[in-house]
Amino acid sequence: MKTTLPSQMRRILRKLAYVFFLLGSTLGLLELAYRRQWIDFYVDELRGLNRPADLNPQDKRFTLLVLGDSFSAQPFSYVDVLRDSLPGLRIINAAVPGTGIREAAIIARARLQQVKPDALLYQVYVGNDLWDLRKSTDSPRISRLRNGYWRLSEYALFLRFLNYRLGQVKSKAGMAVESRELKLDLSFSPEGYSRRERMLFEAEPALVQHSVLATGRREEDLNDWLLHLDAVLEGLPDGVKTVFIVPVPHCAQVDEWYAGHMEQIGAASFPAEIQAQEYPFLNRIRAHYAHNALVRVCSPLPVFQQQDFSGRRLYFENDPHLNPAGQEVLGRYLLPELSSLYR
């Protein structure tokens, strides 16, 4: 036994090392494939959000490429409002739910060359796009397993993609934590609010304040965000004439009614300046691109604040996304900007 046990252990260790090598090599290859988009990881989203005629490369209409997250990729969104109102404009919606600037920069490389648009619209969400760059992983209220995943996902983007696909599978199977019922016109309740949003506030109660006001480490994250967007703009084809950056505000920026709800689900108290129409996140973007003639920064916050009131809310009561009325307002707000492009 004394001579056999060490040799058995060595064999076991060699097998384990081989398994870890194969696993690491496979994940590394998948990460490289994702970052280089060797295959189109989001072709289903592209086909699902666009009519076949719009994807026809022979269509010679003035073309707008849309990048963004779930605000742009909802079944009905402001993109549909623009399409219905501007039939002479070819709009290709390449938004993907759950993505941030890192994924957008990767998606943009492929889509810009594939579509060769005349204009680009990038929709950014003020509420958590800086979170996508750096997740808070020091809260004792978050499990070690989730904190570990969050840390890994900041470097391994393919893990984010796998998590996104797993969420789709769960949704189709009826096992998703976030159900479509969240987005029905149900009255607000802390227990019924989006679990993901409650979890974000557990990890960082002042996430929205830090993002909107670009304070603390979120100021560094905004610098990083701008560098990633710079990379997107550097890769623009020669034919791109205009780039629209559209920051969708967090609901707490729009009305105190929403801010009160956020505090009930775990957010830190909101200062009065959270609803200022000129806020640091927006102003930093404007200042960064002030001398770039291609870039137009379009802030819908003032319009949202004017048109959101009791009896006509623009966001869902138990989910931070725009409801159909909010999407309509956003689309109507953007119409004058876009209609001037090709007429």
Give Cβ neighbours of residue 340 (< 8 Å, ≥ 6 apart).
Answer: none
Best CA proximity match to 51, nearest among 84, 10, 18, 23: 84
pLDDT higher than 90, residue 2: no
Any idea what DSSP says for residue 181? G
57-78 mean pLDDT: 93
Query: Mapping DSSP to helix (H, G, I), strand (E, B) and coil, where does residue 124 land?
Result: strand
Does 127 map to a domain? yes
Same domain (yes/no): 120, 228: yes
pLDDT at 179: 47
pLDDT at 184: 62
Residue 77's region, left for phi above 0, alpha for psi from -120 to 50, else beta, is beta
Torsion sign across C-alpha atoms 51, 55, 59, 62: positive
Domain containing residue 7: 1-36
Does 52 map to a domain? yes
CA 90 distance to own-chain centroid: 23
Q: How far, in Å, are 71, 216, 232, 302 from residue 107 at the CA level?
A: 17, 29, 10, 30
Does 226 map to a domain? yes
pLDDT higher than 70, residue 3: no
pLDDT at 185: 65
The pLDDT tens digits of the residues spanning 201-226 come to: 999 999 999 999 999 999 999 999 99
Q: What is the DSSP string of 251-311?
A: HHHH-HHHHHHHHHTTPPPPPGGGG-SS-HHHHHHHHHTTT-TTEEE---HHHHHHH-BTT
Confidence grade of residue 90 (pLDDT, cut at 50, 70, 90) = very high
Same domain (yes/no): 190, 243: yes
Does 149 map to a domain? no
pLDDT at 304: 98
The dihedrals phi and psi of 78, each to the nearest 5 degrees, come to -60, -25
Confidence grade of residue 170 (pLDDT, cut at 50, 70, 90) = low
The pLDDT tens digits of the residues spanning 325-338 come to: 999 999 999 999 99
CATH number at residue 88: 3.40.50.1110
Same domain (yes/no): 17, 90: no
Higher confidence at residue 18 or residue 140?
140
CA 186 distance to own-chain centroid: 25
pLDDT higher than 90, residue 80: yes
Same domain (yes/no): 134, 14: no
Going along the chain, which residue ranges are E strands? 62-67, 89-93, 119-125, 242-248, 295-297
pLDDT higher than 70, residue 342: no
Confidence grade of residue 270 (pLDDT, cut at 50, 70, 90) = very high
The pLDDT tens digits of the residues spanning 127-162 come to: 999 999 999 988 899 999 999 999 988 889 998 998
pTM of this prediction? 0.91
Same domain (yes/no): 96, 32: no
Return d(Cα 145, Cα 133) in angstroms, integer.
19
How many residues are given for the chain? 343
Same domain (yes/no): 105, 56: yes
Does 161 map to a domain? no
Average pLDDT over the chain, rounded to an integer: 90
CB-CB contact of 326 with 73 (8 Å): no
Per the structure, how many domains does the chain have? 2
